[in-house]
């Protein structure tokens, strides 16, 4: 049976707790809709596959990376694209190996928590190009690049906007653990941007310090912290950190505060509080994946780290509420960050 077109969603969930891995691998060989090893091993077939660290292909950064890969296929940069959703974190290396053993030309892994497995796999498969989304690289490997971002700049823009739209002169941020550099950059950047726009602004920035197993998944803490900050007078709340941050945004919005998301567009995933979502500080994962696929096909694969673009999401429901003077000032700040005439003073690496 002929395989379905590559851009149709292909779900391969490998879970050792449910079925033995070898049985699943055997099933792949006989499934008409599963990857066929002989295809990607051919020199005239360029294949790219994606492996999530966790979650489905419709979740947050996974979705953005997959959309970038679909864009690459639409542009003719790749013949075939597939993905594997990791159900159990213990399967990450094996999931990557499914694509590696079948001769994929590019393997994209998504999320900081799959970084170690990506590095190990890049060493195991030196002829395959690896792209680690939101994975900083301490050591440079010739066939691996980390798609990373200056979160401090988008956080700075978000903070400046918050300081210009607050009515109580009090803004706040709810953030995942500070030892995570992206979280620190987002939230310290937010604080710096708010101070830049209004040196007299009242500011609360709260970082989570809870159990490590709840990293990015501590909605109770996120919600309770946001409610406390709103009750103390903050009328604009910024939040970063997976479901921890989303819970903070939802609870702050339900308490009447305006909210600003991070990483991907909160407006697309938090439908119940859309009227309260001012914007989101975005990492350009989709455009970054496409840029890296273009460079790969042109023989200019950038090993080490590749910085994607950052920006604010469209204002949507808030567009008519934000004065033109505020938008103009925000655009001026954005230009200053790009040409470096404005510095965030937030170090990229932890001090």
Domain positions in the chain are: 13-149+286-307, 151-283+320-339
Superfamily of domain 151-283+320-339: Response regulator (3.40.50.2300)
Q: Is 330 a residue whose pLDDT tops 60?
A: yes
For the entire predicted model, the pTM comes to: 0.85
pLDDT at 130: 98
Architecture label for domain 13-149+286-307: 3-Layer(aba) Sandwich (3.40)
Do the domains 151-283+320-339 and 13-149+286-307 match in fold?
Answer: yes
Residue 280 makes CB contacts below 8 A (sequence gap 6+) with 158, 260, 261, 262, 263, 264, 265, 266, 267, 312, 313
How far is Cα 171 from Cα 192, in angstroms, rounded to an integer? 12
How far is Cα 116 from Cα 178, in angstroms, rounded to an integer? 20
Residue 64 · residue 282 · CB < 8 Å: no
- C-alpha distances in angstroms, 70 versus 75, 117, 154, 194, 308? 9, 24, 25, 37, 18
User: Could you report the per-residue pLDDT of 262-277, keeping only the tens digit for each?
Assistant: 999 999 999 999 999 9
Q: Is 20 a residue whose pLDDT tops 60?
A: no
User: Could you report the per-residue pLDDT of 24-55, keeping only the tens digit for each?
Assistant: 333 343 333 444 444 899 999 999 999 999 88
Q: Is 11 a residue whose pLDDT tops 80?
A: no
What is the band of 8 on the pLDDT scale with cuts at 50, 70, 90?
very low
How far is Cα 93 from Cα 197, in angstroms, rounded to an integer? 46
């Amino acid at each position: 049976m002929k395989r379905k077109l590559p851009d149709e969603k292909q779900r391969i969930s490998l879970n050792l707790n449910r079925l033995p891995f070898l049985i699943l691998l055997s099933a792949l060989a006989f499934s008409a809709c599963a990857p066929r090893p002989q295809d990607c091993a051919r020199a005239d077939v360029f294949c790219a596959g994606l492996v999530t660290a966790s979650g489905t292909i419709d979740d947050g950064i996974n979705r953005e990376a997959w959309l970038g890969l679909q864009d690459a296929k639409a542009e003719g940069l790749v013949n075939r694209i597939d993905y594997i959703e990791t159900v159990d974190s213990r399967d990450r290396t094996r999931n990557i190996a499914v694509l590696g053993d079948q001769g994929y030309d590019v393997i994209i892994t998504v999320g900081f928590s799959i970084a170690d497995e990506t590095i190990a796999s890049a060493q195991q498969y030196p002829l395959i190009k690896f792209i680690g989304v939101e994975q900083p690289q301490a050591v440079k490997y010739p066939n691996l690049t980390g798609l990373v971002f200056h979160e401090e700049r988008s956080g700075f823009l978000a903070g400046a906007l918050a300081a210009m739209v607050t009515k109580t002169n009090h803004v706040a941020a709810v953030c995942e653990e500070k030892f995570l550099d992206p979280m620190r950059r987002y939230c310290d950047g937010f604080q710096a941007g708010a101070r830049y726009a209004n040196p007299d602004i009242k500011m609360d920035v709260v970082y989570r310090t809870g159990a490590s197993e709840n990293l990015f998944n501590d909605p109770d803490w996120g919600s309770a912290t946001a409610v406390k900050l709103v009750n103390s007078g903050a009328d604009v709340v910024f939040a970063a950190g997976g479901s921890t941050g989303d819970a903070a945004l939802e609870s702050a919005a339900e308490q009447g505060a305006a909210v600003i998301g991070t990483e991907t567009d909160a407006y697309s995933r938090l439908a119940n509080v859309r009227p309260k979502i001012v914007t989101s500080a975005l990492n350009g994962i989709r455009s970054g994946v496409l840029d890296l696929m273009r460079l790969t096909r042109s023989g200019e694969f950038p090993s080490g780290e590749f910085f994607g673009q950052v920006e604010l999401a469209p204002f949507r429901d808030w567009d008519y509420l934000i004065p033109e003077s505020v938008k103009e000032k925000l655009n001026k700040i954005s230009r200053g960050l790009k040409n470096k005439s404005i510095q965030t003073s937030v170090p990229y690496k932890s001090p």
